[in-house]
Amino acid sequence: MIPIYEADRLEDLPLFDRGPQAEADVGAAVDAVLEAVRTRGDEALREYTRRFDGADLTSFEVTEAEMEAAWDSVDEDFRETLRQAAANIRRFHEAQVHRDFCLTDRPGVVLGQRYTPIEKVGVCVPGSPVAFPSTILMNVIPAKIAGVREIVVVTPPDENGAISGSALAAAKIAGADRVFKLGGAQAVAALAYGTETVPRVDKIVGPGGVFVAAAKRKVFGQVAIDMIAGPSEILVVADGKSDPAWAAADLLSQAEHDTHAAAVLVTDSRLLAEAVQREIETQLADLPRRDIARKSLEANGKILVTKDLAAAVEAANRIAPEHLELCVDDPFALLPLVKNAGSVFLGRHTPEALGDYFAGPNHTLPTSGTARFSSPLSVDDFVKKTQFIYYTREALTDAAPRIADFAEREGLHGHARSALSRMEEKGE
């Protein structure tokens, strides 16, 4: 049963263990895969795809014909769901686009900052149990909005060398440029180094198991990566008026992800705490993934009782959860108190699942307490900034003595000279 704690003193708050996955265990294996793909290219990819996915492929790229067949295989109702979800995601992420700026208010001086898209991006999509269409929408659409020129999706094939129709339909709707039947560390290697048929990209994003996580960490620097996601987490803040069945359902929706997932309820009501504890047991009985959910709850599930709702939000800030639900009458009153959280779900009718698939904000969120310093995946992750500076001769003349003095004090005389040399124009 999920345990209940009194958590009036925040220092005593029992935190759960959210260490990184055991990447070290697979380090040597991943090194071998990276090296093989770097040196032997497609040949190594064929080998690993045969060994790990059981598929014998001569070429990896999904063809136009396969795309069309996939599209036709998906029922129109789900296509419409994908279209609506994509439209919502597009609308939210378009609001994230920043403008370049330019400062021109000083005579002879222009300063500015431009955004340009990263040129090529790879999106990893895990294949097990199925390639999630939602993962494809959430990773490809922000890249598309950022203006990335080439978006390459990689996802492992099944034993017949095929990829699920709904994943390909999502890739089409999201606007992916190319899809390759590749998974695991070998897919990361192909994107980081390039092969005869797979383009080398500038950034690799998307979730993955321990092999993909380890490979991403190893190629980081060569290429950019997004984040190494840990187990999924939810923290539900709920008042005494909350329906225990809803709170229980939300906690279970997280716990069913995997056995390391964390589901926490924080409430100011001892009564609710106990009711949710009972309700979880009831709902577990007929949940298809109940074994996973139960293990997860036993390891990382907890219910905290705080003296009031402000203390509950303070507890949330301390835990810095990936998902934070505020199931209270006036959630907007609590929102300004939230400091550390990936995505906040406001009110009684905003379950986390809404954000996972449909509402529009991204579902790739900082885990393991990294919401203290990290952000949800966004258009920002697919652009980079370039600063620019322009000075006229007159403006430089004014500034040069101070620049030279500054440089001399830091011991860099060549820097001083590069400013002063402009003052010694020939023939004057």
Closest CA relative to residue 92, chosen from 142, 30, 158, 162: 142
Determine the Cα–Cα distance for residues 305 and 301; give it in Å rounded to an integer: 14
112 Cβ contact list (under 8 Å, min separation 6)? 100, 101, 102, 103, 387, 388
Q: Is 191 in the site for its own copies (CB under 8 A)?
A: no
CA distances from 181 to 46, 67, 133, 144, 177 (A): 10, 12, 15, 21, 14
Residues 70-129 that bind its own copies (CB under 8 A): 77-78, 81, 84-85, 91-92, 95-96, 98, 101, 103, 109-111, 113-114, 116, 118-119, 129
76 is catalytic: no
410 is in an annotated binding site: yes
Residues in contact with its own copies, shown as a per-residue x/- string from 12 to 31 under the rule CB under 8 A: --------x-----------
289 Cβ contact list (under 8 Å, min separation 6)? 256
| Candidate residues 125, 184, 422, 428; the one interacting with its own copies per rule CB under 8 A | 422
| Candidate residues 32, 271, 310, 335; the one interacting with its own copies per rule CB under 8 A | 335
Residues 244-273 that bind its own copies (CB under 8 A): 245-246, 249-250, 252-253, 255-257
254 is in an annotated binding site: yes
Rg (CA), the chain: 26
Closest CA relative to residue 240, chosen from 174, 307, 301: 307
Q: Which tokens is 150 given?
A: 């080439």
Residues 27-66 that bind its own copies (CB under 8 A): none
| Candidate residues 31, 47, 150, 356; the one interacting with its own copies per rule CB under 8 A | 356
Nearer to its own copies, 4 or 249 (CB): 249
Closest CA relative to residue 297, chosen from 311, 279, 310, 316: 279
47 is catalytic: no
Residues 130-169 that bind its own copies (CB under 8 A): 130, 132-134, 166
320: left (phi over 0), alpha (psi -120 to 50) or beta: left
Quote the least distance from Cβ 427 to its own copies, whole Å: 11
The span of 4-12, 154-162, 191-199, 371-379 binding its own copies (CB under 8 A) equals: 371-379
The span of 4-12, 191-199, 308-316, 364-372 binding its own copies (CB under 8 A) equals: 364-372
Annotated active-site residue in 93, 260, 279, 323: 323
Collapse the DSSP code of 249 into the 3-class scheme (helix H, G, I; strand E, B; otherwise coil) and give the result: helix
Residues forming the annotated binding site for substrate?
Answer: 232, 254, 257, 323, 356, 410, 415
